[in-house]
Amino acid sequence: MNDMGMNEYIEQAEKDLLHTYNRYRIVIDRGEGMNLYDTEGKRYLDFVAGIAVFALGYGVKEYNDALKEQIDKIIHTSNYYYNVPAIEAARALKKAGSMDRVFFTNSGAEAIEGLLKTARKYGYLKDGRTDHEIIAMNSSFHGRTFGALSVTGNPAYRTAFSPMIGNIRFAKYNDLESVKALVNDKTIAVIMETVQGEGGIRPATEGFLKGVRELCDEKGLLLMLDEIQCGMGRTGYMYAWQKFGVKPDCMATAKALGCGVPVGAFMMTEDVAARSLTAGDHGTTYGGNPLAGAAVRKVLEIFERDDICAHVRETAPYLEEKLEEVCRRYDFITERRGSGFMQGLEFTKPVGEVIEKAVSKGLIVINAGKNVLRFVPPLIAGQSDIDEMTGMLIESIEETL
């Protein structure tokens, strides 16, 4: 039993925690399948999954058991030593991501930092210069650390913390000519999300991805893809680029990689690994510890065995169909866009009130920018879950009219 009521917990949190989040007034206590429950026992249908993290749903016994077993063995050792879970996780992740080398981090932002250091070291070894430029995308989001913020193409996140790291230039997403226009003799890499998340759920077009890949090949640049939110099966492929076969030189992954255990990774081809980071260039105290490795190993095992990606490919068209119906129903919803189980509805007005109404009815959804309603449910969602979500969403919208 909980000692305090939900409002009391919230009041206590507001006294103790730094106010950097505008949280919804619920205190989550436990989860099961597609559902979350607050400290008062109310059920919520979850179409957020901890921001695209809990891909397998809540209360998966074999996942929980794998973590418990590892906790009873050892949780942390540091990277002065090898550990079996991380070794096995790295091999499985290489296979899933079609890459050759893996560096485990604690988060997605740290994975982006690793990519940026990889690019800078790659350029330094190439010609000895330290003034190389990286091309990023407008409307992008890569994380909250200084390097990740520096390649995040939204001034609202950066302004108060300027100056950022230098030599970053911004192109227009899905506009190949705008990328070409920024390339010069200092350019060393292009970084972008394969599907923009916080920027409004915008997938890269096949033509844009292939065009940037060809440009990078022509100019000797690294193509670095951020698959932190759109990876791990969310689009129906382990990584979103695999749909088009546009392989990056380096990539970042996190979120659903550990399904709740904080872990990320950056990966690269053997060619990049041989010409970039070496001993002493990068490190982490916690990254790739035995507990994180056990989580990644079990998650990837379940993904492969249960063919989670196939389920997403089979079920996502139904989600798209139901969201299209909602879009057609209201003239202030202008577009449905996304890929797989990463979908957005764009409104002509802020969506905050709709989210509040949905939460009150027991549906958890979030925004992606002020005007986009985001849907990133656990990847186990079925048609009945989508039907229930759609009904509550329409009721929530109706109450805002």
| 116-159 pLDDT, tens digit each | 999 999 999 999 999 999 999 999 999 999 999 999 999 999 99
The token duo for 78 is: 């540091």
163 burial type by CB count under 10 A (0-12 exposed, 13-18 middle, 19+ buried): exposed
- Answer with the residue of higher pLDDT: 2 or 16: 16
Beta strands 366-367 and 363-364: pairing type? Answer: unpaired
The token duo for 147 is: 């390097």
CB atoms within 10 A of CB 400: 13
CB atoms within 10 A of CB 342: 27
Q: Please tell me whether residue 14 adopts helix, strand or coil conformation.
A: helix
Specify the pLDDT at position 2: 56
What value does the mean pLDDT take over residues 355-374? 97
Specify the pLDDT at position 1: 44
CB-based contacts of 17, cutoff 8 Å, min separation 6:
none
Query: CA nearest 109: which of 50, 149, 165, 136?
Result: 149
Q: Is the pLDDT of residue 204 over 60?
A: yes
Specify the pLDDT at position 4: 86
**What type of residue is 178?**
S
Residues 358 and 151: their CA atoms lie apart, in Å, by 33
The share of the chain scoring above pLDDT 90, in percent, equals 99
Instruction: State the residue for tokens 């979850």.
Output: 46
Q: Which domains does the chain have, with CATH numbers?
A: 6-59+308-398 (3.90.1150.10), 74-306 (3.40.640.10)
| 252-306 pLDDT, tens digit each | 999 999 999 999 999 999 999 999 999 999 999 999 999 999 999 999 999 999 9
The share of the chain scoring above pLDDT 70, in percent, equals 100
Q: Is the pLDDT of residue 175 over 50?
A: yes
Per-position b or e across 184-196, b if 16+ CB within 10 A of its CB = eeebbbbbbbbbb
Specify the pLDDT at position 222: 98
182 burial type by CB count under 10 A (0-12 exposed, 13-18 middle, 19+ buried): middle
Q: Is the pLDDT of residue 228 over 70?
A: yes
Mean pLDDT of the chain: 97
Q: Please tell me whether residue 43 adopts helix, strand or coil conformation.
A: strand
Sheet of strand 133-137, all strands in order from the earlier edge strand to the far edge: 101-105, 264-268, 250-253, 222-226, 187-193, 133-137, 168-171
Beta strands 202-203 and 195-196: pairing type? Answer: antiparallel
